[in-house]
Amino acid sequence: MRFSSQTSVALAITVASLAESRPSPSSTDARRTGRRWLPSADKIRGVNLGSSFIIEPWMAGDEWSSMGCGSSNDEWSCVQSLGQDAADAAFQKHWQTWITPDDLKEIQSYGLNTIRIPVGFWINEDLVNSGEYYPKGGLEYLDYVVGNATQLGLYVIMDLHGGPGSQFPGQQYTGHVVDSPGFYTADNYERAYKFLEWMTERVHTNSAYFNVGTLQVINEPVHSGDYPSQAADMVANYYPNAWTRIRNREAQLNVADNNKLHIQYMAQAWGSGNPSQNLPDTTFAFYDDHRYYKWDTSVTATQDGYISAICSDNRGGSDTIVGEWSISVADDVQYNSEFDIKNTDANNDWYKKFFAAQVHTFEKSGGWVFWSWKCNWIAGFNEWRWCYKSAVDAGIIPKDAASVASQSPC
């Protein structure tokens, strides 16, 4: 759906009408007694809206080039290269078309109940410092996507995916690829706290955000093995203060206990330390586990090796969500005869098993959110191993997500 002046009016009407059309709590429906309800299914089953509000050129190459950003490595460098006005126009076109109401309806039609929305702190433009280069105008489109998700009954995880100063070096998902992570300072923590407070208030006061039930305080921070002082400082200071700032804002808003947000941290398996060790409370804490077998060098990179590793895996309890995963395999084998999808369909049956085995394992925990819903022409072809929509179209992922675990080779 393309935005125009008429569409902008429709957007305002749609968001305003959500107060009347949003789901109503019911004493006979336990999952709707407050904001902390989870989908009617007992497991999270969802997709990330990757490259929507933080574009990662590796997975959206054609889109990136069409915006005039082809030689840029991240959003920062694209805005810097094009200039603010031209960049804002290019990003506006992207936001209009990358995720549409039809995408959300299709997501729902596949038996999925959740979307995770990666956003950068800069979607709150008041938090951007002079000399920083980020696109402007994304909030209107975020409101629109979230509002449509609420109308469809999709649960929403709001994820601070790109933090001030960039929380991990060399990564496009931060919005600014840096050599050394700059997030771990008092000033940047404060900007992140202000983002979390602002988003908390938006969730509780804007009807479009009724189905936002989880707020993730930071995506994929540094590992303690590579950046021990930064990781330790984050666990000791940023994590507990983020909790306190969110809960204090909810207290100021007189939010009832049964309507408070789940607050989500990267799970201990991510490698930054124990996220809960300094939290003032862990009631309704969630943990985000990103499980990419592709990059686990302890897994034997054969068809049998992957399935064996998955079926014996344990990712945690019901408070752990596998918030990112894919059906991609190790780079050095992805085009060999056992795994190739570029030149043959011979391995399709195995990829169906690969997907089903992961669903089976992740649903032993709280559920899963696939990375990602949509991408375009990774490595010059339709690389559906990263793209849920394309994998469904290819017949690899079935159209009923709830049916998948029972098909597992485990």
| 82 and 190 fall within a common domain | yes
pLDDT score recorded for residue 161: 98
pLDDT score recorded for residue 42: 77
Judged against a pLDDT cut of 90, whether residue 4 lies above it is answered with no
Average pLDDT for residues 115-119, to the nearest whole number? 98
Contact between 167 and 181 under an 8 Å Cβ cutoff? The reply is yes
| 305 and 286 fall within a common domain | no
| 82 and 185 fall within a common domain | yes
User: Where do we find the tokens 């507990």?
Assistant: 240
pLDDT band at 377 (very low <50, low <70, confident <90, very high): confident
Judged against a pLDDT cut of 80, whether residue 20 lies above it is answered with no
212 within a domain of the structure (yes/no): yes
pLDDT one-digit tens code per residue, 169-196: 999 999 999 999 999 999 999 999 999 9
Judged against a pLDDT cut of 70, whether residue 225 lies above it is answered with yes
| 176 and 243 fall within a common domain | yes
| 136 and 257 fall within a common domain | yes
Entry pTM: 0.92
11 within a domain of the structure (yes/no): no
| 280 and 323 fall within a common domain | no
317 within a domain of the structure (yes/no): yes
373 within a domain of the structure (yes/no): yes
Q: Which of 290, 324, 344 is the last residue of a domain?
A: 290
Active site residues: 220, 324
Tell which residue, 370, 293, 409, 327, has the closest CA to residue 111.
370
| C-alpha to C-alpha distance for 45 and 398, rounded to whole angstroms | 13
19 within a domain of the structure (yes/no): no
| 204 and 268 fall within a common domain | yes
Q: Give the CATH number, domain containing residue 269.
A: 3.20.20.80
295 within a domain of the structure (yes/no): no
| 100 and 126 fall within a common domain | yes
Tell which residue, 328, 296, 332, has the closest CA to residue 313.
296
| 346 and 286 fall within a common domain | no
pLDDT one-digit tens code per residue, 148-159: 999 999 999 999
| 82 and 186 fall within a common domain | yes
The domain tally of the chain equals 2
Judged against a pLDDT cut of 90, whether residue 38 lies above it is answered with no
15 within a domain of the structure (yes/no): no
> Which has more confidence, 271 or 1?
271
Tell which residue, 49, 229, 260, 248, has the closest CA to residue 157.
49
pLDDT score recorded for residue 34: 59
- State the amino acid at position 72 in one-letter form: S
| 91 and 184 fall within a common domain | yes
Residue 116 pairs in a beta bridge with: 48, 157
| 319 and 211 fall within a common domain | no
Q: Which of 265, 290, 315 is the last residue of a domain?
A: 290
Tell which residue, 43, 118, 31, has the closest CA to residue 320.
43
The range of the structural domain enclosing residue 118 comes to 35-290
Q: Which of 260, 290, 320 is the last residue of a domain?
A: 290
5 within a domain of the structure (yes/no): no
Judged against a pLDDT cut of 80, whether residue 144 lies above it is answered with yes
